[in-house]
């Protein structure tokens, strides 16, 4: 049951991943990029201050689209896989965890805004991607004197 009988003719087969011609792919990508650049920006109504009598909330300011980086910038990123050795909540911070991560050549302390999504004890032993050449940031919640 559920098997083909020997000699059953099959339909014409097709490639799962058909070959794409390089020139055609480049043309399609350039057209998509051109369309994205020429697309009109969404029209937003001017923000009007709301009054308590109006009962409405003030309109949120539209967020600017994140700046895109080139391949030159991406090539500067140095990433390594590290293993989490310790993880603990930071007192007074709802979103931050203090992680100790072994990246092979050294052990780093990392503040990660993932406390809403992960329990610290379940992170120990997990592997994570670490940007090792990222400039240090002051994690004020972990340093009461900051």
Looking at residues 138-143, what average pLDDT do you find? 56
Computed over every residue of the chain, the mean pLDDT equals: 80
Q: Which two tokens stand for residue 139?
A: 């994690």
Report the distance separating Cα 129 and Cα 79, nearest Å.
Answer: 6
Query: Model confidence over 71-125: pLDDT tens digits?
Result: 998 899 999 999 999 999 999 999 999 999 999 999 999 999 999 999 999 999 9
Instruction: Tell me if 86 sits within 8 A of 124, measured CB to CB.
Output: yes
Encoding tokens for residue 144? 């009461």
Reduced to 3 states (helix: H, G, I; strand: E, B; else coil), residue 120 is: helix
Residue 32 has pLDDT above 80, yes or no: yes
Q: What is the pTM of this model?
A: 0.49
């Amino acid at each position: 049951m559920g098997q083909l009988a020997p000699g059953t003719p099959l339909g014409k087969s097709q490639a799962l991943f058909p070959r794409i011609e390089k020139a055609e792919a480049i043309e399609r990508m350039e057209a998509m990029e051109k369309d994205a650049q020429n697309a009109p920006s969404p029209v937003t109504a001017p923000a009007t201050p709301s009054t308590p009598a109006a009962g409405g909330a003030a309109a949120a300011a539209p967020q600017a689209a994140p700046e895109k980086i080139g391949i030159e910038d991406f090539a500067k990123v140095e990433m390594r896989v590290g293993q989490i050795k310790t993880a603990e909540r930071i007192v007074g911070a709802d979103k931050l965890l203090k992680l100790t991560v072994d990246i092979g050549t050294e052990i780093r302390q990392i503040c990660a805004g993932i406390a809403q999504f992960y329990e610290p004890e379940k992170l120990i032993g997990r592997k994570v991607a670490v940007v090792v050449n990222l400039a240090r940031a002051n994690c004020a919640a972990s340093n009461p004197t900051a």
